[in-house]
Amino acid sequence: MLLTHRSSLRDDGGFRWDPAVDLREVLLPCGRFHGKGAMWSKTAAPGQFFEYVNVNSGVLATVMERAGGERFDRLMRRLVFDPMGMKAGFYLADFAPARIEDVATLYRKREKDGGEVWDPQGPWIAQSDDFGVAPPSAPPGLDSYAIGTNGTLFGPQGNLRISASELAKVMLMLMNGGRHQDKQILQPATVAAMLSRQWTLDRDGVNGNADSDNFRGLYHAWGLGNQHFTDASLVSKGRARGHLGWSWGLNALFVFDPARKTA
């Protein structure tokens, strides 16, 4: 349910917290940061309603930390990035200086004072990764962070810094049954499960999800962590898998057909 955005969690209560925050204090009614429980749907029980949210990824990252005994960013580096020989990561303060120089600054045109209103006539304002003045630094309290309590601080929902060419390596690995060159990164059965259809928008309401939030017609089907594109203009109708990337001025699209190996 976390991977298919049907867990009943919502982003209304936030999706990233400081190292000192334990997610149990956010998710449980007795927790210090639970507040009015905005992170939970008031109308839909788990499994009944699709709504894309970011906080799901933070919960999953926390579970991964608890199971693996490592910080999420380092776990991903050991299991995926290093075995595939990729210069990629979720935590910039761990990057070498030469790699920091390769990180692109994201910009948007906004109000002249740097406010929150989008203004096509305004100046380009740096939104993320502007390290011309100072390199990235660790968040306060990270040195005492308890692994397995709050994976949200590494931004698992969208903080990955990676080049388009190295994303292509991930795409090829998934299209080749989890294999990258001579290394089996994921088992074929795992990839097949990831890419299998888990949720489909039901316009007739037979399965009780006709009111799901499809983001103005964008979301029609989902696998385990990946969108299923049913639009014939995207690779191939009904078979395309992938994900969109919209954040801080970045617009990205990662879509492939695992059967035809087109992307």
State which residues of the chain have pLDDT below 70: 112-115, 203-213, 232-238
Q: Position 34: which residue type?
A: H
Contacts of 230 (CB under 8 A, 6+ apart): 220, 221, 237, 238
pTM: 0.90
What sign does the CA torsion over 137, 138, 139, 140 have?
negative
Residue keyed to tokens 């039901």: 202
Count CB-CB contacts under 10 A for residue 161. Answer: 20
Dist. CA 4–CA 67, nearest whole Å: 21
Q: DSSP assignment of 162-202, as one string? A: --HHHHHHHHHHHHTTTEETTEESS-HHHHHHHHS--EE--
For residue 12, give the 3-state DSSP assignment. helix
pLDDT digits (tens, 9 = 90+) for 95-126: 888 888 889 999 988 776 656 777 888 888 88
Look at residue 206 in the predicted model and tell me its pLDDT: 47
- Virtual CA dihedral for 41, 220, 90, 191, nearest 10 degrees? 120
With CA atoms as reference, report the closest residue to 167 among 223, 88, 261.
88
Residue 235, token pair as written in the block: 């690779």
Look at residue 249 in the predicted model and tell me its pLDDT: 83
Q: What are the Cα distances from residue 188, in Å, to 76, 82, 176?
A: 19, 20, 8
